[in-house]
Amino acid sequence: MKARRKAIEATGTQVAFIHMGEESEAAPFFERWGDGEIARFSDPQARLYREFGLRRASLGEIFNLTVWKRGFEAALGGGFGFGRPVGDPLQMPGAFLVDKGRVVREHRHVTPADRPNYESLAVCDIS
């Protein structure tokens, strides 16, 4: 996201993250990746995930080769490493463009390995 953030914000879109950790856990993570000042919301009970209609993955969706390959790429190649999951590891992610409290574009991950085009998601003619 760090590499894409400038392009996204150039569209006038503010990037924000929702995470299931406590802020004390999240702050060092975001600082490590140079996004310490980015807007973020701690949601340990996953209420916002439910409000956005994000489902939980099945075990079959988690335990497949594509998801594991993507996980290893992130852990080893992306520098994230391996560690204890924070929050619900079965919670599916999503990305949403919200304008004036209304979702105008969305990407609901089909698998945890999805890599949406965040830049195109951020561009929308809102009229």
What is the rounded distance in angstroms from the CA atom of residue 36 to the CA atom of residue 33?
8
pLDDT of residue 75: 63
Provide the CB-side half-sphere exposure for 57 (13 A, CA): 21
What are the tens digits of pLDDT across the range 6-63?
A: 888 888 899 899 999 998 888 887 787 666 678 899 999 999 999 999 999 988 887 7
Burial of 49 (0-12, 13-18, 19+ CB in 10 A): buried
pLDDT of residue 120: 87
Residue 74 has pLDDT above 80, yes or no: no
By DSSP bridging, strand 102-108 and strand 16-19 are: unpaired
Q: Which of 29, 27, 23, 59 is nearest to 44 (CA)?
A: 23
Greatest CA separation for the chain? 44
- Does the pTM surpass 0.85? The reply is no
In a 3-state reduction of DSSP, which class is residue 95?
strand
Of the two residues 123 and 72, the one the predictor is more confident about is 123
Rounded to the nearest 5 percent, the helix, strand and coil shares of the chain are: 35, 20, 45
Percent of the chain with pLDDT over 90: 29
Split at pLDDT 50, 70, 90, the class of 108 is very high
